[in-house]
Amino acid sequence: MAATEAIRSEGSLNPLEQLARNLTPFSAPLVIDDVYTDEQYGTLFDIVKTRGPWPTIVSHHFQSADELIATGTGVVPENHGLTLDDLSGPHFRGFLAQNSVCLYPELHEVFYNEKFLDLVKGYWGCQFAKPTLMLFNVCGPHQTGPSSHLDAVTFRGVRIENTPVWLQNVMGKSGLFTDYLVKMGQVITWWYRGDEGTFTYWPNGPLEAPKRLEHPLWNRGVVVQNEMMFHRGDSVGRLDERDVRGVKCRSLFEYNATDDAWDITTDGDRVHRYQPEQIRLLSHWSAELYSDLDELRKVMDHTDDLTHQVVVDTLLADMRSKGVQVAAPNDPLHDVDWIRALIHTYAIAPTTDWLPS
């Protein structure tokens, strides 16, 4: 019997299933091939090669280990003592467009992309869409842990432009702000011909079995609502290639044109080098969707937005109704005690992993 069926047989949803119900995407990811033209890929990869160095993914978004943990499963031992250096791997990120503005003129036609807009409108069955964000992740072979995560969940008035990712995701897990959720769709694409480097995702919720997009992933992608679905990038490369040491939260990644190689540096010292054929690139394009003109106007006119204070008050009331003793935070975006209380209240992780058939 599946986990959710076992819970339902008890006659009511338990707290874990209530959280799980909040973390199921609108529809299963749509797998697509030949996502970008050769010219579009060449333009994108040229920016990655020539505009670095690029910081770690962790350094972009988090000020403490607790914020990072809250963004993912939220499952963590007491008194963990972890720092961001402990949790930073050799995975690097750059932003190509933010807040619907393309940051690189040469990518204008890629970002304002009719093909991608049609894909996400079809995924949602919506009339209107606008591109909002585009970024890339770049790495070489490395070992990643089994932890999955969510992307930043967007709400009217509370979004990545004004709110830490960890708080957006706690809000999404809680299910308390569903009426304010903004429909989002992503086109996520990979380029990597090496060994391993798969994508694991939980399209039916974290209590059900995951699926896996197999390698090689060259110009292959998914159309998805990634912020409401647990997912992860799996370990990259052969086992003998994955030992990468000396990476800190502040480490940087850059192409060395003189040697035709890619270097990870920490405080100016090279700690690891990759060859060109080892590089794995991911492009993440995101758009907002609106079912009709009424929904579009509600989002655009800010007539029914959340505020951070309303979010804090709602979370406090819900936690206290559950018997959680927690003080009102002085700094709700960074208060560690507040973050830990939220982590423990709304912790959920996938209960099954991917197994070969």
Lowest mean pLDDT among 144-153, 207-216, 227-236, 324-333: 144-153
pLDDT confidence of residue 3: 38
What total of structural domains would you count in the chain? 1
Residue-averaged pLDDT of the chain = 90
CATH number of residue 327's parent domain: 2.60.120.620
Report helix, strand or coil for 19. Answer: helix
Would you say 140 and 90 are in contact if contact means Cβ atoms under 8 Å apart? yes
Please check whether residue 28 lies inside any domain of the structure: yes
Q: Which of 213, 248, 219, 220 is nearest to 234 (CA)?
A: 213
pLDDT at 281 over 80: yes
Q: Is residue 354 part of a domain?
A: no
Say if 131 falls within a structural domain.
yes
Which phi and psi (to 5°) does residue 54 adopt?
-115, 140
The pLDDT, as a whole number, for residue 74 is 59
163 within some domain: yes
**Is 1 part of any domain?**
no
Can you tell me the mean pLDDT for 168-175? Answer: 92
Print the domain residue range for 198. Answer: 14-345
Which are the contacts of 9, defined by CB distance < 8 A and separation ≥ 6? 1
46 in a structural domain = yes
Residue 250 lies in a domain: yes
pLDDT of 8 > 50? The answer is no
Is residue 2 included in any domain, yes or no?
Answer: no
Q: 11-63, pLDDT tens digit by residue?
A: 467 888 888 888 999 999 999 999 999 999 999 999 999 999 999 998 887 77
